[in-house]
């Protein structure tokens, strides 16, 4: 059904790693658990942005993807609670 990570929205087709979970990409879910366990969207976005740039993505693209993370299934609830 969902073809992208429910935490960071990266399409699984772009995932260079080996996925352990059907819901999350190989970056978000490792060794049987989510890498970022908090529920702070801003903090999570910062981590993702840093990782994307470190992986060689250009900064504009990284900012766009970082913005879109708020629409991922994992974060929708957290958004609603804060508003």
* CA-based nearest residue to 65, from 17, 25, 35, 31: 25
**52 lies in the site for Zn ion, by CB under 5 A:** no
**48 lies in the site for Zn ion, by CB under 5 A:** no
Angle at 70 between CA 66 and CA 74, to 5 degrees: 115
The length of the chain is 83
Question: Cα dihedral angle (43, 45, 48, 49), rounded to 10 degrees?
Answer: -110
The least CB distance from residue 69 to Zn ion, in Å, is: 9
**25 lies in the site for Zn ion, by CB under 5 A:** yes
Q: Of 31 and 83, which has the nearer Cβ to Zn ion? A: 31
Segment lying near Zn ion (by CB under 5 A), choices 21-29, 32-40, 54-62, 64-72:
21-29
What is the contact surface with Zn ion in residues (CB under 5 A)?
Answer: 5, 7-8, 10, 25, 28
């Amino acid at each position: 059904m969902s073809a992208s990570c429910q935490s960071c929205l990266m399409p699984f087709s772009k995932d260079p790693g080996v996925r352990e979970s059907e819901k999350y990409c190989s970056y978000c879910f490792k060794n049987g658990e989510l890498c970022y366990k908090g529920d702070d969207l801003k903090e999570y976005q910062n981590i993702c942005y840093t990782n994307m740039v470190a992986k060689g993505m250009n900064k504009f693209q990284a900012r766009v993807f970082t913005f879109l993370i708020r629409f991922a299934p994992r974060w929708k609830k957290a958004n609603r609670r804060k508003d």
